[in-house]
Chains A and B, each alone.
Chain A
Amino acid sequence: MPDTKVIMPQMGESIFEGTLTRWLKNKGDQIERDEPLFEISTDKVDSEIPAPAAGVLKDVLVEEGQTVEINTVVALIGEPGDEAVETAPSQAETTGNGEGSATVRDETPEVAAAPAAKASSASAGAAGVRSSPLVRRIAREHGIDLATISEKGTGVGGRITKRDILSYIEQGGPQKAAPVAPQASPPPPAPAFKGPIERKKMTAMRRSIAEHMVTSRRTSAHVATVFEVDCSAVMKARAILKPEFERSGVKLTVTPFFIQAAVRAIPKFPIVNSSIDGDTIVYKRDINVGIAVALEQGLIVPVVKNADEKNLLGLARSLNDLGERARTKKLKPEEVQDGTFTITNPGNFGGLFGLPIINQPQVAILGLGGIEKRAVVIDDAIAIRPMVYLSLSFDHRSIDGGVADQFMAEIKHTLENWQA
Chain B
Amino acid sequence: MRADQEFEFEGVATPSEAADTLARIAAGIRARSLSLTAGDERITVFPGGRLMVQIGAKRTNAKGTIDIGVAWRRPKV
Whether chain B is bound by chain A comes out as no
